Structure 1
Amino acid sequence: MQLGAGAHESTLHLQGETEVIEQTAAEALWDIFVSSAEASATFSVSGNKRIITANGYPNIAPGKFPNRGNPHAINKKNYQLAIPLEPKRKSRATDIGNKPFGIALNGVLMDPGTAETWQNDRRSGWNYEAKGRACRLGLDKFNAHVQPDGTYHYHGIPTGLLAQNGGRKTPALIGYAADGFPIYGNYGYSDPAKPSSMKKLNSSYAIKSGTRPSGPGGSYNGVFTQDYAYQDGRGDLDQCNGRFAVTPEYPDGTYHYVLTDSFPFIPRCWMGSPDQSFSRLKGGGEARRARLAGRGERPAQGAEMRSARGTGPRPDGARRGGKMPCSGS
C-alpha cells in the first residue's frame, strides 16, 4: 500500500507536542529553558523496513524531573530501531513482557510496565499498575516519567502529541508498535469500514470481581495489573487494544492499536512479530531490575502512599502515610 506523508513513509522531522493543559507561571518559565532543538525523531523507509532514529526527548518541555515522586533526570538516548513496513497479523498474541510496546512519533518510548511488585517480591505475581493510583510515580501531565537510566517514557496517552495530531477530530496517528502496526489515539470512526462520525474507543478490559486469592489479598480494585481481565466484546477493541479500521493514512483499512484512557492504557501484547531492534531495549521493569541487580540491591522504597480504592487491606499492608515500593519505574 502506498501511503502519504501523513503515514511517515518519507524522512521527516516531527514538530513535537502541543500543550493541552493551561500552564502555571512556573511551568511557563520552565518551558523557556527547554529548546525544541534538543529533540530529534526521524522516520524513513529502507527496503521492507521503517527506520526510526530518535533521542527520546520530546519537543515540548516535559514535566520537571527529578520531582517528589520520581528522582531521576532525563538523559537523551540514541535509538536506532527498525520495524516491518508491512506487518503481518498472527493468530495469537505475544505478551510484551518487560519490553517497550512501541515508539511515539516524537521519539519517546511507550512503556507501560513497572518494576514495582507487592512487598518487593518479583515472584509474588502482583505488579503495581503505574496508573493504579496506589502510589505516586511522578508522572507529568503527558502521562510520562523517567527510568533510573534517564529514559523518558509514556505510561498512558501522550496528551500533547494527541492534540497536535487531531485529538477527537480525526483518527490520530501517534506512533508505531514494535511489530510495525500503527498506533492511534482513543478516537476513531464509528463505522470502521468507512470515514464516519467520530467516537471514543473503549477497551474490553474490566476490573475483576471478588477478592485476590493470594499476595496482597483484598478486593480487586485496579491497584495491580493482575486486577484486570479481558472480556471479549465488552468494548471496541481486542485483547491487544487493537481493531481493523480505515484511517486517513490507511484508506483501505489496517489493523492498528489504540491507546485508551482506561486499562490497559498502552497495549500489553502484540498481534504481530516485534522487531529484534526492540529486544535490545529494556522496559520499565527490566531496566530498573538490571540496574539494581548489578549493585546487589532490591527495588527501593519510594513515593508516598495514597489510599487505595476498594475494601480490604492496603496493597502492601502499609498504614496511611507509609511508603510504597513504587519509585521511578
Structure 2
Amino acid sequence: MVLTLSLLATTSANAQRSQWRNQVSITVQGDHRYITSNGIPNHQTGLFPNANNPNTIAPQQHAFKVPAKPSQASTITPLGLWPFGIATNGIPFDPGAMEFYKRDRNSGWQFEAMLGRINLGLDMNHAHVQPGGAYHYHGMPPFSVPSGNPNNQMILAGYAADGFPIYIKFGYTDPKDMRSPLKPLRSSYQLKKGTRPSGPGGNYDGTFIQDYEFVKGAGDLDQCNGRFGVTPQNPAGIYHYFLTDAYPFIPRFFRGKPDLSFMRRPPTDDHRPPPTGGFPPRPNHRDPNRPPPLRR
C-alpha cells in the first residue's frame, strides 16, 4: 500500500465554490518524471485574500521536469530562489519567504515564515498565496499526517527539484529495513547560542533562517534534511528528503542538481513583491522537452 499526499487530502471548500478543480499529472517518460498541475488545492484552505496576504488563489500552469533516476551531486546546493519541489497534489513546496530585515535582501537576515514572528497570512496548511495566485506550502501540511500512522507506511509527499522523493516526517527506525517500525524523524538543525552579531541584533530565537545551524548527529537527518535508505517505492534504497516538525520544515538544500524547470528569476527593484506577498510569479519559462501544462 502506497500512501501519498493527494490520497490523504480532503476536497477543497474553496475549489467547490469556484469553477476550478484540482488537476495534476505525474508521468515518467524516458529518463524524466514530468509533473504538471493547475495549482488548485485539492483540500480545504484558509481565506484568501486575508489581512496579511492580499492575494487570491488562481489557476497556474505548473510544469516541472525531474530525473526519474536522480543522482547525488558532489556538493549540495542551497535553496536560494528555487522552490524546493512539488507535492503529489500539484502544489509547490516553497519555504523561502521574500521578506528580509529592513526589506533589504542583502542584509543577510531572511525571515522564517513558519514561526509567526512575521505574519504572512499562512493558513492551517502552512500555506499562502503569491502575487500571481500560486498557492504554496511553507511547511508540512497537518492534514497530510495521519493520527498515529496506523498503516505503518512511509508517506510520499512529492518530488524535489533534483528528482529525489520527499516524504512526510515518518521514516523507518532502521533505514535499511522496511520491516522496522516507523518513527518521526528529527531535523539536525538547532538554534544558535548567543546574540546576532549584526542586523537586527538580539538573541537567536528563530525569527530568521540565519538563527539556525546544522549540528551533525543532533537529529536523524543530514544538512539537506534527508538520508539514504529503503522506501516503499525504492526497496533497494535511495536518497530521500523529509518534511519535519521543526526547522527547516521543508529542506533548504538539494542533494542533487535541481532541474532548470523549477528556476525563476530574482525580483528586480521595479517588480518587488509587497511585504505580505512572497515571490513574484515564476516566469513563463518553457522547456521544449516538457509536456504542455494542464489548463482549466
**Common fold: TM-score over 0.5:** yes
Equivalent runs, 1:173-252 vs 2, <5 Å? 173-195=156-178, 196-252=180-236
- Unpaired runs of 5+ in structure 1? 9-13, 20-26, 301-325
1:156 to 131, 136, 139: 139
Equivalent runs, 1:297-312 vs 2, <5 Å? 300=274
Contact 2:3-2:155 within 8 A present in 1 as well: no
Verify: 1:58 aligned to 2:41, yes or no. Answer: yes
| Count of residue pairs brought into register by the alignment | 275
Contact 1:56-1:108 within 8 A present in 2 as well: yes
Q: Which amino acid aligns with 1:271?
A: R
* Pair member with larger Rg: 1
CA distance change for structure 1 residues 190 and 67 in 2, over 3 Å: closer, same or farther?
A: same
Q: 1:18, CA displacement in angstroms?
A: 3.0
Structure 2 partner of 1:69: 52
TM-score (norm 1): 0.78
Structure 1 partner of 2:96: 113
- 3-state SS of paired residue (1:123): coil
Q: Distance in 1 between matches of 2:106 and 2:77?
A: 21
Which whole-Å deviations, capped at 9, do the CAs of 1:264-315 have from their partners, x for residues lacking one? 0000110101111111x46xxx4xx34xx335xx654xxxxxxxxxxxxxxx
- Unpaired runs of 5+ in structure 2? 279-296
Structure 2 partner of 1:17: 9
Equivalent runs, 1:60-139 vs 2, <5 Å? 60-139=43-122
Identity fraction in percent: 47
CA distance change for structure 1 residues 61 and 167 in 2, over 3 Å: closer, same or farther?
A: farther
Q: 1:167, CA displacement in angstroms?
A: 8.0
Q: Distance in 1 between matches of 2:86 and 2:259?
A: 12
Q: 1:251, CA displacement in angstroms?
A: 1.2
Structure 2 partner of 1:253: 237
CA distance change for structure 1 residues 263 and 167 in 2, over 3 Å: closer, same or farther?
A: farther
CA distance change for structure 1 residues 204 and 142 in 2, over 3 Å: closer, same or farther?
A: same
Higher helix share: 1
Q: Distance in 2 between matches of 1:328 and 1:157?
A: 20
Q: Which 4+ runs in 1 deviate beyond 6 A?
A: none
Which whole-Å deviations, capped at 9, do the CAs of 1:58-101 have from their partners, x for residues lacking one? 11232110011211101111112110000011231011101100
Q: 1:122, CA displacement in angstroms?
A: 1.6
